[in-house]
């Protein structure tokens, strides 16, 4: 699951960079047909419970490592929205999913992986989320 945390951090970079690319090439994208457009932002259709569990665990781990941080809170909300199709109440939806029986194995694995990772590694992931999703 530690790999999933790093995978999420990598996805953060991918999404951030794809946003910049999309913003700079909007006029070219308008000429493409719907069949040629490629969606880069994750959607709940292809997001795994493991990814969502890893994201949720950030809400448990990061406040203890970086303290109360409004920038992180906003960034975390944006991260969850990105993975749940920009649902307005994405954080609440994730909290409800976490409580389901089906979600428990993924959550247990994510928590175990977060415990295995060093505080420095976890703090770096928290900082990455804060810096790339706070916009």
Tens digit of pLDDT for each residue in 58-75?
Answer: 999 999 999 888 899 999
Q: Is the pTM of this model over 0.75?
A: no
Q: Domain count of the chain? A: 1
Is 32 or 125 the better-scoring residue by pLDDT?
A: 125
Three-point CA angle 90, 97, 71, nearest 5°: 35
Q: With respect to residue 16, please indicate whether it lies within any of the assigned structural domains.
A: no
Q: What is the mean pLDDT of residues 10-37?
A: 40
Q: With respect to residue 20, please indicate whether it lies within any of the assigned structural domains.
A: no
In the predicted model, what is the mean pLDDT of the chain?
A: 76
Maximal C-alpha separation, the chain: 48
59 Cα distance to chain centroid: 11
Place 30 in a pLDDT band, splitting at 50, 70 and 90.
very low
**Domain ranges, residue 90:** 1-10+50-135
Q: What is the mean pLDDT of residues 13-38?
A: 39
Sign for the CA dihedral angle at 41, 88, 132, 95 comes to: negative
Of 63, 103, 38, 87, nearest to 79 by C-alpha is 87
Q: With respect to residue 73, please indicate whether it lies within any of the assigned structural domains.
A: yes
Q: With respect to residue 38, please indicate whether it lies within any of the assigned structural domains.
A: no
Q: With respect to residue 96, please indicate whether it lies within any of the assigned structural domains.
A: yes
Q: With respect to residue 74, please indicate whether it lies within any of the assigned structural domains.
A: yes
Q: With respect to residue 134, please indicate whether it lies within any of the assigned structural domains.
A: yes
Is 10 or 45 the better-scoring residue by pLDDT?
A: 45
What distance in Å separates the CA atoms of residue 41 and residue 119, rounded to the nearest whole number? 29
Is 6 or 48 the better-scoring residue by pLDDT?
A: 48
Q: With respect to residue 99, please indicate whether it lies within any of the assigned structural domains.
A: yes
């Amino acid at each position: 699951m530690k790999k999933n945390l790093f995978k999420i951090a990598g996805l953060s970079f991918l999404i951030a960079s794809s946003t910049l690319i999309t913003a700079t090439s909007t006029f070219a994208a308008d000429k493409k047909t719907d069949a040629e457009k490629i969606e880069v932002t994750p959607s709940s259709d292809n997001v795994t419970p493991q990814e969502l569990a890893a994201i949720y665990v950030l809400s448990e781990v990061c406040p203890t490592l970086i303290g109360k941080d409004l920038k992180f809170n906003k960034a975390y909300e944006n991260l969850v929205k990105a993975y749940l199709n920009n649902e307005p109440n994405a954080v609440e939806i994730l909290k409800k999913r976490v409580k389901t029986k089906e979600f428990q194995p993924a959550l247990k694995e994510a928590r175990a992986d977060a415990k295995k990772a060093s505080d420095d590694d976890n703090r770096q992931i928290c900082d990455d989320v804060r810096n790339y999703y706070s916009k």
